[in-house]
Amino acid sequence: MKRYFHNLGEKLIEGLITISGTVTSITVLLIVFFLFKEGLGIFSQSPVAEGSVIAVHQNNPVKELKAEEVKEIFDQNITNWKELGGPNAPIKLFSIDDITDYYTEEQIGANFEYLPQRLNELVAKEPNILAFFPEEYLAKDFKGHQIKLANVSLGDFLLGRQWYPTIQPAVQLGVLSLILGTLWVSLGAILIALPLGLASAIYLAEIANPKVRNILKPVIELLAGIPSVVYGFFGLVVIVPLIQDLFGLPVGETALAGSIVLGIMALPTIISVSEDAMRTTPRAMKEASLALGANKWQTIYKVIIPYSISGISTAAILGIGRAIGETMAVLMVTGNASVIPHTFLEPVRTIPATIAAELGEAPQGGIHYQALFALGCILFLMTLVINLTVDFVSTKKKENR
């Protein structure tokens, strides 16, 4: 009997252990589910700013516009209906603030009680009007035609250059500048971190004596432990002003500042992963090289580095992965301007920084909120690809032995 309970207890514990083993897998699947559930919602929502109506005269042949076109119209870059497939007539822009140009205050009513009616009249009599007003003033018997905005397509989303998620009357949700900003900053980071990190890894693995090594290893561990917000703060008070003075810039918050901070943050990953890779070089290979008359340096760059090249590339990929996903430090030092970067001395905005800065203000379930989740999906996919590549490279390496 006692033995029976003992066995039962053991079965329970084993069950518990197995369940715990699946927690990470379940978490990853849940992350994918929720991220994509919210993120994909962006493709089934109209990009008209919440609670707004865009309307034209009922005889106007233009029935549907793209969000981008609406912005061009309101920026006066498109001024004729012809450009939108309509008649050759100038577009008459109207937004709710212009109502006093057409009607007196009595006609509108002290509490805007006649406003819906007036808007109705106005749209009915102006054939070339493009009116934009709040939904609450839409008359029940509205005689104009409400413009439908085309839903955001995947192409518009990924290749669009404009990120104005709260602009009236139609939000602009192009993330190309954010994707390029992220890659740009990460590329800069890896250009800084890779030479420094590789040199340190070689020094640690092959050159340094144990005493120096014992000092350097904890230092690198500590570098990995410093919170990203502290890096960001350091960047903000030291690196940003330094860059501003050095290059005579109006603002020091630039891609370069982000790259420097991220480069420092990626160092520990690069150093420890590539050092581990170099340490796996078989002793026999090194000794054979030395016995053939090669000196230590020749052995390093002709034997050890080629042998551990897959480990070194893993280190570089992991370093990029860290840089792409880093949020706080980048948010604090890159200036967050959503423009496509051309040099390292311009402000840029990355995907994680955008999510962190805007999610708090985006109403839940709205298109802006969903766009931020869609950005999260992109970020997740980027890091997934990186992780799978690393996994692939390291399994391949094992098979080759």
* Contact set for other proteins, span 42-61 (CB under 8 A): none
User: Is position 21 an interface residue for other proteins (rule: CB under 8 A)?
Assistant: yes
Stretch that binds other proteins, among 127-135, 159-167, 240-248, 267-275 (CB under 8 A): 267-275
Task: Give the nearest distance from C-beta 190 to other proteins in angstroms.
Answer: 15
Amino acid identity of 202? Answer: I
Question: How far apart, in whole angstroms, are the C-alpha atoms of residue 303 and residue 77?
Answer: 61
CB of 276 to other proteins, least distance (A): 8
Residues in contact with other proteins, counted by CB under 8 A, come to a total of: 88
Nearer of residues 90 and 195 to other proteins, judged by Cβ: 195
Cα 358 to the chain's mean position, in Å? 12
Considering the rule CB under 8 A, would residue 10 count as an interface residue with other proteins?
A: yes
* Residue 154 beta carbon to other proteins: minimum distance, rounded to whole angstroms: 20
Site string for other proteins, 169-198 (x = CB under 8 A): --------------------------xxx-
Sequential DSSP letters for 241-277:
HHHHHHHT-S---SHHHHHHHHHHHHHHHHHHHHHHH
Q: For residues 103 and 78, what is the distance between their CA atoms, to the nearest angstrom? A: 27
Q: Pattern of binders to other proteins over 203-232, x per CB under 8 A?
A: xx--xx------xx-xxxxxx-xxxxxxxx
Letter for the amino acid at 186?
S
Q: Is 18 in the site for other proteins (CB under 8 A)?
A: yes
- Given 183, 240, 271, 371, the residue binding other proteins (CB under 8 A): 271
Instruction: Report CA-CA distances (Å) from 258 to 181, 333, 346, 378.
Output: 10, 6, 11, 20
Rg of the chain on CA atoms, in Å = 30
Nearest approach, Cβ of residue 317 and other proteins (Å) = 10
Joined tokens for residue 155: 């192409």
Q: CA–CA separation, 304 vs 102, rounded Å?
A: 81
Subset of 344-383 contacting other proteins (CB under 8 A): 352, 355-356, 359-360, 364, 372-373, 376, 379-380, 383
